[in-house]
Amino acid sequence: MPNMCRHLLIHGRVQGVGFRWALSAQATTLGLCGWVRNRRDGSVEALISGAPEAVNALTEWAWTGPPGARVERVLCRDEPDLADFNMPPGFELRPTF
């Protein structure tokens, strides 16, 4: 099955609780590649790519996040044009945007 790519925008109490690091660790465990960053509006944004089962699993995880997080909503958008884009391996923590 081909890879898929999904953009996530996570709202709630998601900054200052280790959300980016936890999401990166979970993505790595699931064999995904992509990136995650804080946004100035207080949300966390991620672009994830990999096997559909793994992308779906990380999307589900994002609804809970690490201890201390309080997720209010997760907006997700599949990015079909990026699904076959060859992202570099691994998962990257990006600076705040």
Residue 79 inside a domain? The answer is no
Q: Which of 38, 40, 77, 86 is catalytic?
A: 38
CATH number at residue 21: 3.30.70.100
Q: What is the DSSP letter of 84?
A: T
Rounded to two decimals, what is the model's pTM? 0.91
Q: Which of 20, 37, 73, 86 is catalytic?
A: 20
Note the pLDDT tens digit of each residue in 29-71: 999 999 999 999 999 999 999 999 999 999 999 999 999 999 9
Q: What are phi and psi of 54, to 5 degrees?
A: -70, -40
Say whether 56 is catalytic. Answer: no
Q: Tell me which residue range forms the domain holding 46.
A: 4-73+84-93
Inter-residue contact 22 to 16 (CB < 8 Å): no
Residue 46 inside a domain? The answer is yes
Residue 32 inside a domain? The answer is yes
Number of domains in the chain: 1
Say whether 13 is catalytic. Answer: no
Inter-residue contact 87 to 34 (CB < 8 Å): yes
